[in-house]
Structure 1
C-alpha cells in the first residue's frame, strides 16, 4: 500500500504548475487531498483531472486565518504556495517576492500549532550562492551539493536575489522548528523545472512559444551560454513524494537531473522537435539571464531517497510540446507574447 493512502494531505499552491501535478499523483496514491490556492497564478483548469476528488479552497495563505484553517487536521503539508515567476518576473518584482517570508512563516507556525505530522517545503536552487555559479572557472562549482548553501556557514550564503534569500530563509525557519520543537519535514531544492501546465515566463515554454510563432530572428535572453539542468515536472513530483516520506530532520535535498544543457542548445532542441528552423538566433544582453551555470549534485538524492530523475531532456521536451500545441491559441499568444514573458 502507498505511504500516502488515506493520509490527509494539504497542498498549498496546489493549482500551480508543479502543485497540480503533485495533486494528481497524491490522488492516484489514495490520499485525501485539500488544495489551498489564491489563483493569483495558479489555475483551476490545472486541476481538471482531480477536482472532483479533492477539497479546493480559494484563499490567500498570507492570511493567518487561512493558514490556520487549512492546516488543521492534516497529516502532511506540501508547501508550494509562494510568489514566484520566471527570471523576468523575479528580476522586476522584488517587493512581491519578499512576501514569501510571510507566507512561509504562516504555514510553518500553523503546521506546528496544529500538529501536522510532516512538512515538505519546496525550496529552490536559487538558495545557492551566486558566487559558485559565475562565469569565472576559478570560482564556479560544476555540481552544487546541499552543504554549499547554509546561512550559518561562512561563504555559503549569497543567495540569488530576493527570491533566493526567501527560499534560504524558509529552509532555515523549517530547520529551526525541527531544532526546537521536533517538527518533521524536508526542504526540496528544485532545479529548473519544466513541463505541461507551465507558462511562457519560464524558458522552455517561452522557447516553444517562439517556435510556434515562427519568430525570426529567434530571441534568446543573455548570451545563450548559460548552463542548466532542466528537470521534467513528473520527476520533480516523484522526488517530492519520496522526500516527504523518507526525510524527517528538515534537511535540504536537491531535486534535479545531472543532464546539463546550454540555453542555446535547449532552444535548438525545441526548434528541432517543433519542426521550425529560424534563419538566425539573436541574443538580447539587456534581458535578465540568471547565473552562468547551475546544476545539481545528485549524490545525496540517490543516497537519501534511492532515486534519481528518469526523463531525458529530449523526451521531456516532446511531452511538453505535445501539451502546449494542444492548448495554445497562437493568435492570442502573438498578441501578448512579450507581456507573458514577465508575468507570473
Structure 2
C-alpha cells in the first residue's frame, strides 16, 4: 500500500530521524503534517520541504493539541519523545518516563480521529540489559509480554518505549487500528545532535579536544545504523505490518567506540596526543547488535549503508554546518543537553 495521496502525521517531525522521514514521505507523494514542540527538533531541519508540509507547533502531552494534530489524518508515524544519548537518559529518567503519557495521548486521539495506521518508533533499549554483556544478537522474541520475567528494559527510557509498544498493541486489539513498532538501534547521520554517540565523538574531534574523552574503556560496542536505513524500515513497517508486531531496524555488526573514534580521527586528519577513557561515565550495556531476520522476512528490509559510507556523510555534514570555535566553547553543554 503506497503512502502517495494519503495524509500523514509525523510526530517529532522536526527532529533528526523525523525530518529525514518527512522528506522521504513528501518524495513519495504523501500530504505531510508535522507536530513538534521544538524542544530538540529544529525548523531548519525541514527547510528542504517547508513549502510542501504543514507544521503544528505544540506539546503532544496536551490532549487538545494532540487531537488537533491527528485530525483528518490517514497514517501516523509517532517519533516524538523526550530522549537523548546515554548521558541524557541516565541523568533525566523522569523526563524520559513522561513518554508513557505522550504515547497514550497520541494513540488515543489518533484512534478517536479514525486514523487507519500507526507506526511507533521504539528502541533497542526495550531489550533486557542482562543479555547484552556478551555478543549476542538481539531478536524480537527476547522480549515477552506473556511470560513471567519476560521484560527487563534499559533504564526508564527503555521501559517507556516498551510500554509504548504494549499500549499500541492494546489499541490495535480493542479498536482494530493497524499498528507497527520499529525498534531502532543506535541511529546516526546528518542533523543528529551531540548528545548521541557518533556525533558526540565527531564534535570532540572537530573541536580538537585533547586529551580526547571517550566514555568507558571504548570497547563497548553498538550497531550504528544510518538514518536513511531507519527511515526505510519505518515506511515499510507502516505499509506491511498491521498487528503491532515489533521489528528491529539495525545492523548485525559489533562496532566499538574506539573503532569509531579512530575512523573519525583519520577522516578529519587530526589525532589527539592523549585519549582519556572516562570509566566513571554512564555507558549502558556492554554489547548491542540486531538480529534482522524478522525485518528481512516481513518487510524485505536490510540495511544498505556501510559504516564507512554513513560516517562520511555524517562527518561532511557536521563540518559543513558547524563553527569550530562555537563547538569548542560550548562543547560540554552540547554533549549533555538536548
Pair in the same fold by TM > 0.5: yes
Report the secondary structure of 1:144's partner residue. coil
Give deviations 1:171-215, integer Å, cap 9, x for gaps.
000011112221211010000000000011011011111111122
Equivalences, count: 338
Asked whether the equivalents of residues 254 and 287 of structure 2 are also in contact (C-alpha less than 8 Å), the reply is no
Matches within 5 A, 1:84-123: 84-123=83-122
Give 1:155 deviation, angstroms: 3.4
Give 1:153 deviation, angstroms: 2.2
Matches within 5 A, 1:173-322: 173-322=167-316
Whole-angstrom CA distance in 2 between matches of 1:152 and 1:339: 42
Give deviations 1:119-154, integer Å, cap 9, x for gaps.
0000000000101112xxxxx451000011123323
Matches within 5 A, 1:12-31: 12-31=11-30
What are the ranges of 5 or more consecutive residues in structure 1 without an aligned counterpart? 135-139
Asked whether the equivalents of residues 62 and 106 of structure 1 are also in contact (C-alpha less than 8 Å), the reply is yes
Give 1:105 deviation, angstroms: 0.7
Aligned to 1:323: 317
Aligned to 1:137: none
Report the secondary structure of 1:211's partner residue. helix
Give deviations 1:268-305, integer Å, cap 9, x for gaps.
11111111122232210111111101111010110011
Report the secondary structure of 2:122's partner residue. strand
Runs of 4+ in 1 over 4 A off after TM superposition: none
What are the ranges of 5 or more consecutive residues in structure 2 without an aligned counterpart? none
TM-score, normalised relative to structure 1: 0.96
TM-score, normalised relative to structure 2: 0.98
Whole-angstrom CA distance in 1 between matches of 2:213 and 2:192: 20
Aligned to 1:7: 6
Report the secondary structure of 1:50's partner residue. helix
Asked whether the equivalents of residues 123 and 167 of structure 1 are also in contact (C-alpha less than 8 Å), the reply is yes
Report the secondary structure of 1:30's partner residue. coil
Whole-angstrom CA distance in 2 between matches of 1:84 and 1:151: 24
Report the secondary structure of 2:294's partner residue. helix
Aligned to 2:76: 77
Whole-angstrom CA distance in 2 between matches of 1:342 and 1:151: 33
Q: In angstroms, what is the RMSD of aligned CA positions?
A: 1.1
Structure 1 range deviating more: 125-134 or 278-287: 278-287
Report the secondary structure of 2:330's partner residue. helix
Aligned to 2:34: 35
Asked whether the equivalents of residues 8 and 75 of structure 1 are also in contact (C-alpha less than 8 Å), the reply is yes
Report the secondary structure of 1:107's partner residue. helix
